[in-house]
Amino acid sequence: MPAGPWRSAGYATGQLSFSAEKLTGWSVAMDAAGTPDVYWQTKFDDFAFLACVGGMGVLTAALPGRGLGAPAGF
């Protein structure tokens, strides 16, 4: 992996930065290491996890509204 300021800054700084130089450096280092496919798979997994958690939240919130889980006479 090429040396540069993004290397010592860490993953979070490189990915979450609003600096064009840091983002470019992070992308160049990722391309040089041949890991963009790992990056995109991780992003897909993160999205799927968040979608499942959100879906479970919606379903859980809907249960009392349908009378499921509410005590009798509630």
Same structural domain for residues 29 and 53? no
> DSSP H helical segments within 19-73, as ranges?
20-33, 36-65
For residue 45, being part of any structural domain is answered with yes
Mean per-residue pLDDT of the chain: 76
Dist. CA 25–CA 2, nearest whole Å: 9
pLDDT of residue 39: 83
**Residue 10 domain boundaries:** 1-34
Same structural domain for residues 39 and 22? no
User: pLDDT above 90 covers what percent of the chain?
Assistant: 18
pLDDT of residue 27: 82
Dist. CA 48–CA 74, nearest whole Å: 36
* Number of domains, the chain: 2
User: pLDDT above 70 covers what percent of the chain?
Assistant: 65
pLDDT tens across 39-65, in order? 889 889 999 999 999 999 988 887 766
Same structural domain for residues 42 and 13? no
Same structural domain for residues 52 and 63? yes
Same structural domain for residues 26 and 4? yes
For residue 5, pLDDT beyond 90: no
Same structural domain for residues 44 and 16? no
pLDDT of residue 6: 47
